[in-house]
Amino acid sequence: MNRSRSAWSALFLAVLCLAASKAAGEPPLPDRWPAWRGGNGQGIARGARVPLEWSPSRNVLWKTAIPGRGLSSPVVWGDRLFLTTAIEGEVVPGAQAMPHVIEGQPFVHPDAMGADRRHTFKVMSLDAGDGRLRWERTAWEGTPVDSRHKKASFASPTALTDGERVYAYFGSEGLYAYDYEGNLVWTFMPGAVGTLGVGVGTSPVLYDDLVILLCDQEEGERSFLVALDRRTGREAWRVRRTVEVSWATPVIVRAGGRDELVTSGNQLVIAYDPATGRERWRMRGLESNAVTTPLVGDDVVVLSSGYPSKISVAVRPGGEGDITDGPRVLWRYNKGSAYVPSPILYEGLVYLLTDRGRLSCLDARTGEVRYEGGKLEGSFMASPVGVDGHILVMSQEGETFVVRAGPEFEVLRRNPLEEPIGASAAIAGGRLYIRGQEHLFAIGEKPSS
């Protein structure tokens, strides 16, 4: 352990905008956004176009009220859209969170809440065309195993869809597979996934016929990585990990003619064979909280953390054994990284966004700084997305900043929605889907009359 109790007590919003990747580094098709940040974890909609200007009265095709609280992103497959949410109920006398221990001492996070109440976790299917509700299902009801951060949600992991089923993950309360008609196909219960009282953040990853879950927890005694058959929910493989709690969803990388599943962590960064769980390579970890999704592109993987230290490190995948001190570590940068929002790698450049809205741009291969500290007003939890030569950055104040992609900082416009935004957006079918605090918005060009 390398965290003090004071560092843990500052643990903040780590659960929020993180989740899954689908296949080996390939972007989603134009009408699909099947998982967190598009299915490959990168947030890039290649070849797509969406409106770059909107407001509550302009280019909003529809908005649908979403009950409860959720920070998961919408996922889309053709005309199907899926979303998870958590609805808080009454206080249950005597209910409390699982106990937590740090370095042998009892620990209660000062901002933890919710374990003393009854909750309902739901999976919703909406029509992507008009926003109407197709069906909703209650996946789980009761008092949760652990609490959540006061600004987080029990529905933070983003769901995953493969065109046949939707897979919704709620941490200790289970992973649920539904078909497109809303029938429950199978359930997987991972056991108590302790996250020191702030909630889970990783989301399921799809690789071929496997749904993969990263379940790092507490001080690492019970951390594991598991792959499930997507048709049956049966375990295909499981590996033990000696890595303490993290919130960073793994990504699939194609390197050296093979696929790798790269996991970020405090103590260790480890790449596995996603088909078998066999370890490929490892390196010393970030030595800070692993929250943000690794970036993949231009034959590099970029891992970052923003607390307690700011660090970004780029490595070349495809190695073997321990690569910590070898030539595969390409560059390091110790500024500008966020605690919660994941960065983005777009057209050869890495964009780091701080939680307070400072944007920096680096060359993905060399780490050369193109600009530092471009100011976006507001506070940020949602991870940016890239489309049509632009970076879209959503704030908790309800604005989306349209930033021109490139080596010079330029904000083209600010688009208000008058509703706080904490979830990362989805792009599919020429539309931008934004989850606000109370509604899901579809942004698109309205057809001429």
Task: For the domain made up of 5-443, give the CATH fold.
Answer: Methylamine Dehydrogenase; Chain H (2.130.10)
Note the residue count of the chain.
449
Sign of the alpha-carbon dihedral angle for 13, 422, 174, 164: negative
The predicted model scores a pTM of 0.93
Give tens-digit pLDDT for 232-272: 999 999 999 999 999 999 999 999 999 999 999 999 999 99
What's the token pair of residue 363? 């060359």
Question: Taking the domains of the chain in order of start, what are their residue ranges?
Answer: 5-443
Q: How much is the average pLDDT of 376-385?
A: 97
Residue 395 — φ and ψ, nearest 5°? Answer: -110, 160
Mean pLDDT, rounded, for 155-159: 98
Q: Which two tokens stand for residue 438?
A: 């109370």
pLDDT of residue 40: 85
Could you give the 3-state DSSP secondary structure of residue 38? helix
pLDDT digits (tens, 9 = 90+) for 99-137: 999 888 999 999 999 999 999 999 999 999 999 999 999
In 3D, which of 394, 297, 388 has the Cα closest to residue 340? 394
- What are the DSSP calls for 220-242, one per residue? STT-EEEEEETTT--EEEEEE--
193-210 tens-digit pLDDT: 999 999 999 999 999 999
79/163 Cα distance (integer angstroms) = 11
